A = this chain, B = another copy of it.
Amino acid sequence: MDNERKLTIARAMAEATAQEMRIDPRVFVMGEDIADLGGVFGNTRGLAEEFGKERVRDTPISETGFIGAAVGAAQDGMRPVVELMFVDFFGVCFDAIYNLMAKNTYFSGGKFNVPMVLMTSTGGGYSDAGQHSQCLYGSFAHLPGMKVVSPSNAYDAKGLMTAAIRDPNPVIYMYHKGLQGMGWLGTEKGAIVHVPEEPYEVEIGKARIAREGRDVTIVSIAQGVHHGLKAARILQDQGISAEVVDLRSLVPLDRDTIRASVAKTGRLIVVDEDYHSFGVSGEIIATVTETNLADLKAPPRRIAYPDVPIPFARVMEQYCLPNADKIVAAARELCGAVIPA
């Protein structure tokens, strides 16, 4: 419906957070530049105005300190929503994340839990170079004890944020800069969709069939889903029917949905803006081949970021990034279609 309310992911995230803050006094927000500025990527806009700077607090540039603090606050009964401005910065504070946040529930035999959300921006494509453009999906998904989600559109963004805040466990909430709907980062129109006003949850750990198809399954998350959808539209014109799976969560990973799709199509392409090796794309391929080897009509393929740091120069970065053309070419190959010259 054209007159439905459409939001950007940034606004959907802020709305979900505000709604939870209204009903749950335990929820508070902290991070760099999240109060007055409303977050560099807009996802906390309006919160400081509504809830004040005690509950929405700018931090020093001390990620180890304040993410560690979030863990302690969560263990003490609060529900911190904390921001790591770029996922690329995880190297200065990963201990607080994966050795504390992710493990204290286990170490305490479930006596403490750590209900917190760590929001962090991912992704490149706008020439921000090698320390500000990574996805690092695999780096987080590999380590046990934290859930990992990433929305491809504003509807999921709101529902996943609500679910994440309500979850009694730590959730890494990765939002792709290219989908935020901040004009200055470019805008993926497909991410701006209808978002209901009332609070709702999108279940963490459930993938979504973003488009149904018969011939090939394209599995991705966040920005990659839009590449997949674009490719699917092109492929349709070429007589190839592609199914697009939007993972939405990496942990838990909805292996059933992936497998069911490939069982149907017999062909798999994984689209991953994270580095190629030892990450998401390998895991998805292994997931399928472990159980559905006989279904595979062609070897699985991955369109992932090559194993190189992300270059600044636009031509170089664009060369490396996944895109619809690369997916189309791979799909045609898998389907045995003639590759047009």
Contacts and interface: CB of A to CB of B under 8 A. Distances in A.
Contact of A275 (B144, B284, B308): B144
B99 A131 contact: yes
A102 B308 CA distance: 10
A59 interface: no
A236 to B, nearest CB: 26
Interface residues of A, number: 56
Interface string A276-299: 011111111111011101001011
A240 interface: no
* This protein's copies in its complex: 2
B289 A283 contact: no
A301 interface: yes
Scoring A94, A142, A278 by chain B CB atoms within 10 A of each residue's CB, the highest score goes to A278
Given A278-B280, A283-B278, A293-B299, A308 B99 contact: no
A170 interface: no
A94 B90 contact: yes
Scoring A284, A286, A298, A309 by chain B CB atoms within 10 A of each residue's CB, the highest score goes to A286
B308 A300 contact: no
26 contacts: A90-B94, A91-B94, A92-B94, A103-B130, A106-B308, A106-B309, A106-B311, A107-B129, A107-B309, A138-B278, A139-B139, A139-B143, A141-B277, A141-B278, A142-B278, A144-B309, A250-B278, A278-B282, A278-B283, A282-B285, A286-B289, A286-B302, A289-B289, A289-B296, A290-B299, A290-B301
